[in-house]
Amino acid sequence: MNLQKFIRNHVEYRIDPLTSGQSRINPKRAKRAKQTENNVEQRGIISRSKTQCIFCPNQIEKQTTEFPTDICQTGRIKEGETTIFPNLYPFAENHAVGVITTEHFLDLDQFTEELLKDNLVASRDYILSINANNHKARFPTYIWNYMPPSAGSIIHPHVQIMVDTEPIPEIKKFLQKSKKYFQNNKKNYWQVLVEDEKKLGQRYIGGSDMLALIASFAPRGFNEVQFIFQGISSLSELTLKLIDDFVSCLVKLLNGYKELGVGAFNLVTYSSAVNQNHEYYWLNMKLISRPFPKGVYTNDTGPMERLYDVWVIDTLPEMVAEKLRIHF
């Protein structure tokens, strides 16, 4: 594994070993003056949003639509406290919302393994149901935007589940680059990455025998952690054992984020097609922190990221791993 980095003017330039994407890391930037750092009371935001929340138990049946019977005979997919229904404002061919809990708000250290497991099981069921009804809908995505700075428009904890005919371009790039690496090296890139990071010990955080958590060498987001699932390529292949391992690790990470002062995050998945297992590709996910919810705040994404595909970061991955490893 070629982990390239070089230093210019105290800035670390790091190159992603799979995609060749560039990150620039300077921990000193975390200390720079920010004139928008005055906190707005978070409880006020939460209480105001609760009065008209369409995802709360007293509104969800009235305000959300149902699936056609060929997708779900009961109209909505339910598992524990999770309820999944069609997204009224989709940005994918098949786009559902999965409400995680009946509570309007949960802090990062209040999410339980049971809540997250039920949500992922129900989401997997939705993905399989869509694909069974339309075999051309093959590429699943599971996204969790927590709190408004992550682009979540509703406070109530919920995820987005999509199933598309074509993969998202970034996922297509992951699949193509992984295949090319396999053809050139006769090895699975993701397996080599996990083995090398475990040996180095600098960015490896923890996990299980089937799941590895690593602070990404060249992160695209703040406090970025990558989940790598051994031996499977698609979200549709998640077994109950893998889901148990994942939610156990995710709860630990969210507790770690809470201690770091994180108040918003994004979780995204990079999955191959439904029921498609590649010897060159392993299912992986990324978790990144976003700015703490405030009335006005300094966004962690600027023109370098949005327009140039260069990711300017102010925390070293090795520091992220050191702070989060204690929770494992």
Amino acid at 61: E
| Nearest to 272, CA basis, from 75, 126, 127 | 127
Alpha-carbon distance of 324 to 215, in angstroms, equals: 9
Backbone angles phi, psi at 12, to 5 degrees: -85, 120
Characterize the bridge pairing of strands 82-86 and 11-15. unpaired
Is-contact 60 40, C-beta < 8 A?
no
Is-contact 218 22, C-beta < 8 A?
yes
H or E stretch at 142 = strand 139-146
Report H helices in 19-138.
42-50, 60-63, 113-133
Cβ neighbours of 175 (radius 10 Å): 20
Alpha-carbon distance values, 29 to 11, 24, 26, 195, 314 (Å):
10, 11, 6, 32, 5
CA atoms within 13 A on the CB side of 152: 29
Alpha-carbon distance values, 180 to 1, 163, 206, 284, 303 (Å):
14, 25, 28, 18, 30
Length of the chain: 328
Instruction: Please calculate the CA angle 143-145-148 and round it to the nearest 5 degrees.
Output: 160
| Nearest to 265, CA basis, from 248, 244, 286 | 286
Q: What is the DSSP letter of 293?
A: P
Write down the pLDDT at residue 2.
85
Write down the pLDDT at residue 37.
47
Is-contact 92 161, C-beta < 8 A?
no
What are the pLDDT digits (tens) for 197-226? Answer: 999 999 999 999 999 999 999 999 999 999
pLDDT tens, the chain, 328 aa long: 889 999 988 889 999 999 999 999 988 877 765 544 445 567 778 888 898 899 999 999 999 999 999 999 999 999 999 999 999 999 899 999 999 999 999 999 999 999 999 999 999 999 999 999 999 999 999 999 999 888 888 999 999 999 999 999 999 999 999 999 999 999 999 999 999 999 999 999 999 999 999 999 999 999 999 999 999 999 999 999 999 999 999 999 999 999 999 999 999 999 999 999 999 999 999 999 999 887 767 778 877 787 778 888 889 999 999 999 999 9
Beta-carbon contacts of residue 274 (< 8 Å; ≥ 6 apart): 127, 128, 131, 138, 139, 140, 163, 234, 235, 236
Q: Is the model's pTM score more than 0.75?
A: yes
Token digits of residue 118: 């039920």
CATH of domain 4-27+46-325: 3.30.428.10
